[in-house]
Chains A and B, each alone.
Chain A
Amino acid sequence: MPRMVELEVDGQTYKVEPAEAALKEAGKQGLEPWGEALAVVGSAVPRRRGAEHVTGQARYSSDVQLPGMLHARLLLSPHAHARVRRIDASRALALPGVRAVLTCLNTDAAWDEERRLFDHTLRYAGQEVAAVAAADEEAAEEALELVDVEYEVLPAVLDPQAALMADAPQVRGEGNLYGGKPQVYRRGDVQRGLASAEVVHTQVYRTSIQHHACLEVHGCVASWDAAGLTVWDSTQGVHLVREELASRLKVPATKVRVVAEQTGGGFGSKNGIGPYHLVAVLLARQTGRPVRLFMPRAQEFIASHHRPATQHELTGGVMRDGRLMALVHRIIGQAGAYAENAELAAGAYGATAELYRCPNVLMEAWIVHTHTQSPGACRGPVGTEVHLALEQFIDELAEQLAMDPLAFRVRNYVRADQTRRRPYSSKALDRCYEAGARGLGWRWPQDPGHGRVRRGLGMSSIIWHGVQSEPSQAVATLYADGSLQLTLGLALIGTGSETALVQVAAEELGVSPDQVSLIIGDTRGTPYSIDSSYGSRTLALVGPAVRAAAAEVKRQLLARVARGLGAEPEALRLEAGQIVVRARLEPPMSVAEACRQFVSAPLMATGRRSRNPRGYAHESFGAHFVEVEVDTETGAVRVLRAICAHDSGRIINRLLAESQVQGGFVQASGPALCEEPWLDPATGLQLNANLHDYAVPTALDVPDEVQALLIELPDLGNSIGAKGLGEPPHVGAGAAIANAVAHALGLRIREYPLTRARVLEALRSAREAPGAREGQASHEGI
């Protein structure tokens, strides 16, 4: 049992384990938290393997071409709900170049407990109906045209509200509410809380579907040989894909190799396998040829799943002095047709329960089945939607009290996690507020101006789950010439984690990052560093393992040097890249020199991540501040500036961290302002499954300034002091933009994205509302 000590936070006493103890006990490497003066960590080391990207040499799985490789395509259901009455693939098979056609007639393979890979009953538009493999893309595409399918179209329900009606078509035959009841989080007594509040306010918000729209589509190349199966995959995690393939195919994991040298974007959509993996693998097995199956862009919108559309009803009770007394948050999320991923539709947890001090909270997540594709993890899943609603509602509560929304947030600041009753391992949200407000020039009240173009400022808080205690391994090998090789079982997905991990190793060993090379992106020969890079956890999860591995080879090296010099190992220290021997006159020696002199066979170590110290909650925090401009005549919203303050613990690489923040902000500005699917109301078919009408932000849509303010408070939770930064910038951006728009217009649009259409419609109803005075440029009267 670890030694626990008492910690007082906000007048409450908690029992926690001192962080240093956890590091030492579990790591056994005697790691101390790093101090202030670090040589490599914190510096802007250029992205590892960036040269491959800028010269076109980077090899993505979609670039893989193998001799004899066939090309596969999928036929997807055009109906939201249908039965396959008849399939005739003979004309497709007769086409020159076509090697195989899979349908529900010849393929029994299961996808999961609920359905076959090619099912007879189709429950969403886009479900797999058939697949072909042919000598080239053109022939595969032509063959699809010749697969003749007769469907019996069945009644479908596309809208969650409609699906909850008694007479709605049943999606899975057990009621359309997933689990039969809402998921609930409860703290205190909201009835009492609301009754005691001086002001009670309710609002409803709607968020739209967001697609990942990775620039590299989903897909893989599958090939069988005597050694087993090799899959080149566009993925966020080679090990997870291997595990899932092995389990689905019932072959030993050792017979499956998954390679992903580079991945062209994932954002949550490329964790684990999709039906297309199995299709490629089966086609490869059947034809005895390598098979390439990458989605056409239109199908990519299906293959990646999506962030679901949600509806939020929020009720809050506050005192006139700004104290939050109660929060009720009901979420309706759309789960799609299967249980798969249903819990990504909505959840009764997160920001509403945690961000602000509030004694009484009730969250309900109603997860509803419809005849639609199931949702998937999309950068900041569930949390992004919750922030969009909650952080606007918080602004509206402040408005009810005529209070500065920032001051209202500060008024309800909390230093411990109220849901798990633990102190945070670190929390610098207050410093984020301060820095962000200063950076933007936050002022209250605001003056949006009177002309055609109005300006507004808006802000939003951010909380995002940190890394819990999960195992991770990394292997470090130190060669006699002083070069260090890191072997890591993870994929390169563009977040830059691999570069930061190189810095961690270089720091620990006292070498330059140039001396560190990487083996990565392949299950063969790599340790299980992570299942897949999701949840903003790669760095804070794998980093400590890397540090442990580097520390262990350092220990081995120092032992050799000590033996060689006839000194006590304890007398040796590695400082600023130099080995010095206490109380002796030997000149300091670099690691490379030491290796040359004292290392013959390479030194190797596997590092393991130690568990987190007990008793803490681990979270990343942040606050976004933006300024927008709205043209009231044409409804155009432009973000002028964004100041993004983040508490993500120690920043290992400032340059790459800035890219993460910028990218997250820009990506989130899409669904806040312009990005949404166009769905045909009658069939549920997506009409804009392309990268043009599905309007992701372009270079002309980004503000001139997206400033990342990285508040560095090294976290106690792990030996490198880092917390996650991948998702937090995406989580808070939308609400900050929406708040700024509301302040610019003096009215609030509670449905996203804030397109010109919505802005102009809102302005018109405000104009036409009874009581609106002509020409008045106040907050109500546009």
Chain B
Amino acid sequence: MSDRKPPPEPPLPRGPEVTRRDLLTGRVAGLMLDRLQGEEPEALPAPPLIRLTVNRVSRELRVPAHRTLAEALRVNLGLTGTKIGCDHGECGACTVLLDGLPVYSCLTLAHDADGRSVETIEGLASSDALHPLQQAFLTYDAFQCGFCTPGMIMALKALLDRRGTPDAEEVRQAVSGNLCRCGNYLHVIAAGLAAARSLGDGG
């Protein structure tokens, strides 16, 4: 194994505030320790309680005003099925249904879900059976790495809830706000159509 040593650097004029020695001698370590014992780092007043229904279960949360619904679901409620791919409304991985409509939870404030109903991928299957969309995604191999899958399925769920028998173009449009970098769009569209058919058949 090579001894990985970078070439020597000329000494750096040092900043007055924190020095390496400070770090070593514990001036900073002391600061760090204080913080280890400290509480949540919120300078703002304790945030008000919000109540939302997540997958038909009522939940209460106390999160700062700037916490997004995506983070609240993942971090505060442990529902990590909702993914964050971009955090900017540019990928669709965080798609959830808010009062039945697909939205990007990364651009939705948790506080704006107060009093509303949120559906996530975790709420889709019943205890004993997959939702037809989930089944169709398996049958048609509608994903590869699967990171876009929860968002894709939720976007399609909203479509199928609204429109029983969509055509291929409507299915395509419904997932037009969801990126799949693995590029499995055609299988996603096939799965969406198949799920619609099986729902139509009363299955």
A321 close to chain B: CB less than 8 A = no
> Which residues of B1-53 are within 8 A (CB) of A?
1-2, 4-7, 9-10, 12-20, 23, 28, 31-32, 35-36, 38, 40-43
Whether the Cβ atoms of B12 and A84 lie closer than 8 Å is yes
For the complex formed, measure the closest distance between the CB of B9 and the CB atoms of chain A, giving whole angstroms.
5
Q: Which of A111, A113, A662, A663 is packed against the most chain B CB atoms within 10 Å? A: A663
Whether the Cβ atoms of A88 and B15 lie closer than 8 Å is yes
Question: Could you say which of B108-116, B158-166, B173-181 contacts chain A?
Answer: B173-181
Chain A, 200-212, contact with B by CB distance < 8 Å: what is the 0/1 string? Answer: 0000000000001
For the complex formed, measure the closest distance between the CB of B138 and the CB atoms of chain A, giving whole angstroms.
5
Give complex CA distance A87, B93 in Å: 37
Chain B residues closer than 8 Å to A97, beta-carbon distance: 35, 38, 40-41
B153 close to chain A: CB less than 8 A = yes
Whether the Cβ atoms of A54 and B13 lie closer than 8 Å is no
B82 close to chain A: CB less than 8 A = yes
Whether the Cβ atoms of A110 and B83 lie closer than 8 Å is no
- B88's partner among A266, A660, A692 (CB-CB below 8 A) is A692
Give complex CA distance A698, B125 in Å: 27
Whether the Cβ atoms of A698 and B176 lie closer than 8 Å is yes
A630 close to chain B: CB less than 8 A = no
For the complex formed, measure the closest distance between the CB of B142 and the CB atoms of chain A, giving whole angstroms.
9
Chain B residues closer than 8 Å to A99, beta-carbon distance: 32, 35-36
Whether the Cβ atoms of A115 and B6 lie closer than 8 Å is yes
Whether the Cβ atoms of A96 and B125 lie closer than 8 Å is no
Chain A, 208-219, contact with B by CB distance < 8 Å: what is the 0/1 string? Answer: 000011111100
Whether the Cβ atoms of B7 and A659 lie closer than 8 Å is no
Whether the Cβ atoms of A216 and B32 lie closer than 8 Å is no
Whether the Cβ atoms of A110 and B18 lie closer than 8 Å is no
- A247's partner among B1, B38, B153, B185 (CB-CB below 8 A) is B1
Whether the Cβ atoms of B75 and A65 lie closer than 8 Å is yes
Chain A residues closer than 8 Å to B83, beta-carbon distance: 60, 62, 215-216, 264
Give complex CA distance A664, B90 in Å: 21
For the complex formed, measure the closest distance between the CB of B65 and the CB atoms of chain A, giving whole angstroms.
11
Whether the Cβ atoms of A662 and B90 lie closer than 8 Å is no
Whether the Cβ atoms of A494 and B6 lie closer than 8 Å is no
Chain B residues closer than 8 Å to A53, beta-carbon distance: 137, 143, 146, 149
B100 close to chain A: CB less than 8 A = no
Whether the Cβ atoms of B12 and A106 lie closer than 8 Å is no
Chain B residues closer than 8 Å to A663, beta-carbon distance: 144, 182-184
A119 close to chain B: CB less than 8 A = yes
> Which residues of B119-178 are within 8 A (CB) of A?
120-122, 124-125, 130, 133-135, 137-139, 141, 143-150, 153, 172-173, 175-176, 178
The interface size bin for chain B is: 35 or more
Give complex CA distance A115, B66 in Å: 38
A112 close to chain B: CB less than 8 A = yes
- B179's partner among A266, A659, A696 (CB-CB below 8 A) is A696
Known contacts A215-B179, A702-B185: A95-B12 contact under CB 8 Å: no
Whether the Cβ atoms of A105 and B20 lie closer than 8 Å is yes
Chain A residues closer than 8 Å to B150, beta-carbon distance: 56
A85 close to chain B: CB less than 8 A = yes
For the complex formed, measure the closest distance between the CB of B43 and the CB atoms of chain A, giving whole angstroms.
7
> Which residues of A81-124 are within 8 A (CB) of B?
84-90, 93-101, 104-106, 110-116, 119-121
> Which residues of A129-143 are within 8 A (CB) of B?
134-139
For the complex formed, measure the closest distance between the CB of A464 and the CB atoms of chain B, giving whole angstroms.
18
Chain B residues closer than 8 Å to A217, beta-carbon distance: 85
Chain B residues closer than 8 Å to A213, beta-carbon distance: 181
Chain B residues closer than 8 Å to A65, beta-carbon distance: 75, 78, 80
Whether the Cβ atoms of A55 and B13 lie closer than 8 Å is no
The interface size bin for chain A is: 35 or more
- A47's partner among B133, B138, B147 (CB-CB below 8 A) is B138
Whether the Cβ atoms of A90 and B18 lie closer than 8 Å is yes
Whether the Cβ atoms of A493 and B31 lie closer than 8 Å is no
Whether the Cβ atoms of A136 and B41 lie closer than 8 Å is yes
For the complex formed, measure the closest distance between the CB of B151 and the CB atoms of chain A, giving whole angstroms.
9
Q: Which of A58, A263, A692 is packed against the most chain B CB atoms within 10 Å? A: A58
Whether the Cβ atoms of B138 and A54 lie closer than 8 Å is yes
Chain A residues closer than 8 Å to B5, beta-carbon distance: 110, 113
Chain A residues closer than 8 Å to B1, beta-carbon distance: 247
Whether the Cβ atoms of A54 and B182 lie closer than 8 Å is no
Whether the Cβ atoms of A702 and B183 lie closer than 8 Å is yes
B194 close to chain A: CB less than 8 A = no
Q: Which of B20, B32, B75, B134 is packed against the most chain A CB atoms within 10 Å? A: B32
Whether the Cβ atoms of A265 and B147 lie closer than 8 Å is yes
Chain B residues closer than 8 Å to A690, beta-carbon distance: 86, 88, 90
Chain B residues closer than 8 Å to A266, beta-carbon distance: 145
Residue on B nearest A143 in the bound complex, by CB: B41
Whether the Cβ atoms of B183 and A667 lie closer than 8 Å is yes
> Which residues of B39-98 are within 8 A (CB) of A?
40-43, 64, 66-67, 71, 74-75, 78-91, 93
Whether the Cβ atoms of A706 and B186 lie closer than 8 Å is yes
> Which residues of A224-263 are within 8 A (CB) of B?
247-248, 262-263
For the complex formed, measure the closest distance between the CB of A358 and the CB atoms of chain B, giving whole angstroms.
33
Whether the Cβ atoms of A56 and B121 lie closer than 8 Å is yes
Whether the Cβ atoms of B143 and A113 lie closer than 8 Å is no
Chain A, 462-505, contact with B by CB distance < 8 Å: what is the 0/1 string? Answer: 00000000000000000000000000000001111000000000
Whether the Cβ atoms of B182 and A698 lie closer than 8 Å is no
Chain B residues closer than 8 Å to A138, beta-carbon distance: 41, 64, 66-67
Whether the Cβ atoms of B144 and A667 lie closer than 8 Å is no
Residue on A nearest B155 in the bound complex, by CB: A699
Chain B residues closer than 8 Å to A148, beta-carbon distance: 15
Give complex CA distance A700, B180 in Å: 12
For the complex formed, measure the closest distance between the CB of A307 and the CB atoms of chain B, giving whole angstroms.
14
For the complex formed, measure the closest distance between the CB of B49 and the CB atoms of chain A, giving whole angstroms.
19
For the complex formed, measure the closest distance between the CB of A568 and the CB atoms of chain B, giving whole angstroms.
44
A449 close to chain B: CB less than 8 A = no
Residue on A nearest B39 in the bound complex, by CB: A96
Whether the Cβ atoms of A297 and B86 lie closer than 8 Å is yes
Besides the known contacts A65-B80, A95-B41, A113-B4, 5 further A-B residue pairs in the complex with CB atoms under 8 A apart:
A50-B141, A55-B122, A88-B17, A213-B181, A215-B148
Q: Please give the residue numbers on chain B whose beta carbons come within 8 Å of chain A beta carbons, in ascending order.
A: 1-2, 4-7, 9-10, 12-20, 23, 28, 31-32, 35-36, 38, 40-43, 64, 66-67, 71, 74-75, 78-91, 93, 120-122, 124-125, 130, 133-135, 137-139, 141, 143-150, 153, 172-173, 175-176, 178-189
Q: List 20 A-B contacts (CB under 8 A).
A: A54-B130, A55-B130, A89-B17, A93-B32, A97-B35, A106-B20, A112-B4, A119-B9, A120-B12, A214-B145, A265-B144, A267-B181, A287-B36, A296-B87, A662-B187, A665-B183, A667-B181, A690-B86, A690-B90, A704-B186
4 smallest CB-CB distances across A and B, nearest first, come from: A56-B81, A97-B41, A666-B183, A494-B145
